[in-house]
Amino acid sequence: MKKIKKFTVLGILFILPLVAYLFFSSGVNNFGRLPVVQEDVLNLNNLNHVFTGEKIQTEGKINIFTFLGGDVETKSVFAFNLKEKIYDRYKEFKDFQVVSFVLEDQINLAEKFIDEINKTSDAFAWKVVVVSEEEIISQFNQFNSPHQLDDKFSSAEAFIIDKKGNLRGRKDDEDEGVKKSYNMKSVAELNNKMIDDMKVILAEYRLELKKYADKEKK
C-alpha cells in the first residue's frame, strides 16, 4: 500500500508539471487572443496631438480611444481611473497609446488634465486630439456600441483598438454578452476586466514578435 501511494505521489509530481507545460505552451495560440468584436473601426485620419503637433499614428499601435468631447471637466475624472489602472501599467510598451478626442473649446481643460497626469506619471503616450462634433460622432458610431455619446459629445467608455484597426473586447462577457468597451467610472471593471484583456492582447503581440524574431534567426 505504501509503495502504491509512493508511486502515485511521484506520478502526480511528474505528470502535473508536464500537463501544465503542454497546456500553457499550446494555450497561447488557442486561448490567448482577445476577440475582434468589430472590424475596421478607424474612421479618422490626419490626427495631430494638440499640444505637441505630432502626427498620431493609430495603425500599427494598440490604442485606447476615449471620448472626452465637450465635457473634459467631468470625463477626465473618470479618465484618471484609466490612467491609474491601465495607462501607468502599460505606457512603456512602445506600441501602446491612449487617444482622447476633445472639442476645440475644451483645449484648456484638456491641458490641465495632461498636467495632472504628469504630476504622478509621464503623459508621453497619452495623446489629445481636437475634433469637430461631426467627427467625434462619426468615430464613435463606427464602433456600433450599445452605449451612446451624451449631449456634450462625450462618453465614459474606453475602447481597445488593435494594430490593424479592429475593435477588441469580449464575446462572452457575463454582464453584456458582447463587450465592446470598458466603463472608466468603474474601478472594479477596469481592475477585473480591462487589465486582464490588455494582458491578453499584449501577450498576443509579444508572441507574434517572438515568432518573427525566431524566423529571422533561421
C-alpha span between 49 and 52 (Å, rounded):
6
Q: What is the pLDDT of residue 45?
A: 83
Confidence of residue 32 (pLDDT cuts 50, 70, 90): confident
The pLDDT, as a whole number, for residue 194 is 98
Kindly report, residue by residue over 75-91, the tens digit of the pLDDT: 999 999 999 999 999 99
CA-only gyration radius of the chain, Å: 21
> Residue 211 has what pLDDT?
60
Alpha carbons 218 and 209: distance in angstroms, whole number: 15
Can you give the three-state secondary structure of the chain, one letter per residue? CHHHHHHHHHHHHHHHHHHHHHHHHHHHHHHCCCCEEECCCCCCCCCECCCCCCECCCCCCEEEEEEEECCHHHHHHHHHHHHHHHHHHHCCCCCEEEEEEECHHHHHHHHHHHHHHHHHCCHHHEEEEECCHHHHHHHHHCCCCCCCCCCCCCCCEEEEECCCCCEECEEEECCCEEECCEECCCHHHHHHHHHHHHHHHHHHHHHHHHHHHHHHHC
Range 54-68 average pLDDT: 96
What does the pLDDT look like over 184-217, one tens digit per residue? Answer: 999 999 999 999 999 999 999 888 766 656 555 6
Lowest mean pLDDT among 17-21, 51-55, 69-73, 194-198: 17-21
**Residue in 209, 198, 178 with CA at minimum distance from that of residue 86:** 198
User: Does residue 31 have a pLDDT over 50?
Assistant: no
Angle between helices 195-217 and 2-31 (to 10 degrees): 90
Please report the pLDDT score of residue 97 as a whole number.
97
CATH number of 36-217: 3.40.30.10
What residue segments make up the domains of the chain, in order of their start? 1-31, 36-217
